[in-house]
Chains A and B, each alone.
Chain A
Amino acid sequence: MSESNQPYVIFTFVAGMLLTVCVAVLAVFIASQRPNVVIVPSGGGAPASGAPSVTGGTLSAGAPAGSLALEDEPLPEGPPTLRVAKAQTLPMADDPFDPRWDAAVSVMIPVQAQNVTEPMLSNVTIREVELRALHDGQTIAWRVAWDAEQPADRVESAQFSDGVALQFPLVEDAPFMMGAVGQPVRILHWKAVWQHDVDHGFADVQDLYPNMWYDLYWFTEGDRPYTVNGAFDDPRAAPWFIAQQAGNPMANLDRSVPVEEAVAEGFGSLTTLPESHARARGAWRSGRWAVTFFRPIGLGDELSQLLAPGRTTSVALAVWNGSDQNVGARKHHSLWIPVEVQP
């Protein structure tokens, strides 16, 4: 080895040591961020007999039946597995509060403020969400529920939507935060604002401001208040609906589902898929949101293969409190939760 190479070798050695230390610190950090999982049996008491999803009332290896907070116990090997049991009939797709959901085991999943990438969430307002899942061989159904004092489902400047998203890794080891380049994740994202559109019609200007007066919209048809769906059908009016013209999925004036399917390969890369196979419905009742996601199993696409009976995968959740300016990366999220879709 020549003299001139020595500084380089020393540098490489030092850099290598630094890297090792960093990786070690990161590993400890990740381990300490592991979610504490609380298992609650169905019906608030003993497992309902005959409920296929709760046999034994356990979700995780070694976790005893009954309501149990693992916080004070030695941590298990990893987060308990969510077993998606097979049911004869699924709860109603359009009623997130269908009592049939009680038959499914619920997993309480702690969520935390997104503080890995900017913009971060500074204020934690949601601490946990309740997740249940069932399938009937045809369709896999999820229900997420969490406390929300008020629903945030209106569109305005500086106002944001409540929402919840389920994320699945399309390749093993995809990072739990939006995947990474070459390690895509698939996301089902429900938004309260979209639910409001579906339930009550697209939120128009006069829905927010009934007395709004405006002198001039170009090429309108009919009369005031010139509803956005109906009065602007003249193609010459289209240029003022730029995002809609550009095909922006946010600007869908004729929304029929409150959920989008999207892929991501890292922060800022979320891309809505042209077609959403999922159906969803959210309802807010007495200080609580419940949102269901239903998706066919036999589609043959990547996600339905991933969630086919007998498969194991993971799910991560994100939840937004619109009343507290949660939007985009300003969200609460979980880590990966192992999922086992029972045959």
Chain B
Amino acid sequence: MPKRFNWQLGRDMEYTYDGPPPARQVAYIFDTNKCIACQTCTVACKTCWTSGKGQEHIFWNNVETKPYGGYPVGWDLKLLEQSDPAQWRDGKLTSLTIFETDGAGKPPRGHRPVPDDYATPNLGEDDVTGLAELGQYFGDTHPMWMFYLARICNHCDHPACVAACPRKAVYKRPEDGIVLVDQERCRGYQECVKACPYKKVFYNIINRASEKCIGCYPRVEQGEVAFCVETCIGKIRMHGFLTTDGEPREDNPLDYIIKVRKLALPLYSQHGTGPNVYYIPPVHVPDGFLEQLFGPGVEASKQLYRNLGSDKKLLGALLLFGASNRILTRFEIQGEEAVGWDVDGQEVARVPFVEPIHHRPHYDDRYDVYRHNTA
């Protein structure tokens, strides 16, 4: 079995296929600190792509409450239970990935959710880690916590779904790294469903084939961000490309936030698939839990986040989240504004560091009306 370098693990890794990386890699950054679990992203994706018959349980985008929530139920816990705990030394993974656990040439280690696991799309919603003591709400910061984890397919560098399909019906596009299931060739074996650590491939009982997040590829081909990104109420998401044909570029907002500054971290990278949704970890959640999800870079990332006020370029990059429905490929700080350009080199976003204050008088001359909530 070929060996491939997995940069998230800092080491080579067994993987079923070899091949050059895509010309550029589609990637997303989700700032968990800002997500309010409004599920607008979920509904946008579902309404557009998965509202057919047989797709009732299919949520290419879902938002769950950690630590207890998850869809399908226990998607991550069931794999963690089957795996040795992740071990890191100096940023390098020393434990085994899902491609290595069962030995070279074996299918990736995984589990198949059962129908009941799909019966509750938001089990554990808003559950915190414990009950608050009486009166604790009025006291200091209370020790309970929870946070929202928005999830889509990771369009992985080394997709488990691709590795597992005996028919080679799942493939990674060379132009942008988007991972797709060939809807003509799939015979519904559900090997990909079993292998994907994120359970982002679903079996459709009417189409009798497996279906997964298509990365909104028709939009990406037009230079537009995914539906789940454009519609995000909390502007927690950025969608773009990681550079694959050279060093990370400081003026590519994704390269900069993910690779240069390491503010955003991959989810469960220890499984080895090289996931490309990168999360800014929630600053209020204990490191122990977060490190299981996001690896050893959690504390450094939290420090960066807390220090954003004096980190103008990084803050500027974050200001561009949700600032345009175009994919940003370049950004720059110009004075007191963050500016973004799209794939065609057009300026499509200009966001001030401080929003201007508009004073609207109590009486509006133009309409001859009084405003009542302008205080």
Contacts and interface: CB of A to CB of B under 8 A. Distances in A.
Interface stretch (A66-74, A88-96, A101-109, A155-163): A155-163
A245 B193 CA distance: 22
A204 interface: yes
Contact of A155 (B55, B167, B183, B208): B208
B205 A217 contact: no
Contacts of B164: 119
B211 A242 contact: yes
B186 A243 contact: yes
A216 B47 contact: yes
B208 A118 contact: no
B216 interface: no
Interface residues of A, number: 42
A59 B49 CA distance: 57
Given A117-B166, A157-B190, A328-B189, A205 B205 contact: yes
B109 to A, nearest CB: 12
Contacts of A157: 57, 112-115, 118, 190, 193, 202-203, 205
B184 A247 contact: yes
A270 interface: yes
B122 interface: no
B295 interface: no
B371 interface: no
Contact of B187 (A159, A241, A250): A250
A241 B190 contact: no
B113 A242 contact: no
A119 B193 CA distance: 14
B183 A243 contact: yes
A155 B115 CA distance: 11
Contacts of A217: 51-53
Given A118-B105, A250-B209, A328-B187, A240 B114 contact: no
Interface in A227-260: 228, 232, 237, 239-248, 250-251, 253
A156 to B, nearest CB: 5
Which of A117, A159, A232 lies at the interface centre, i.e. has the most chain B CB atoms within 10 A of its CB?
A: A159
Interface residues of B, number: 41
Contact of A118 (B112, B115, B166, B168): B166
Contact of A240 (B51, B113, B166, B189): B51
A214 B56 CA distance: 7
Contacts of B205: 155-157, 203, 205, 208
B186 A250 contact: yes
Contacts of B208: 155, 243, 248, 250-251
B190 A158 contact: yes
B190 A327 contact: yes
A329 interface: yes
Contacts of A247: 184
Nearest to A159: B115
Contacts of A158: 112-115, 190, 193, 203
A212 interface: yes
Given A205-B56, A217-B52, A156 B206 contact: no
A268 interface: yes
B115 A242 contact: no
Contacts of B174: none
Interface in B10-60: 47, 50-57
12 contacts: A119-B191, A156-B115, A157-B193, A158-B112, A204-B206, A205-B56, A216-B47, A247-B184, A248-B184, A250-B188, A328-B189, A329-B166
Interface of B: 47, 50-57, 105-107, 112-115, 118, 164, 166-168, 182-191, 193, 202-209, 211
Given A118-B107, A240-B55, A243-B211, 6 more contacts: A118-B105, A118-B106, A242-B52, A242-B207, A250-B207, A251-B208
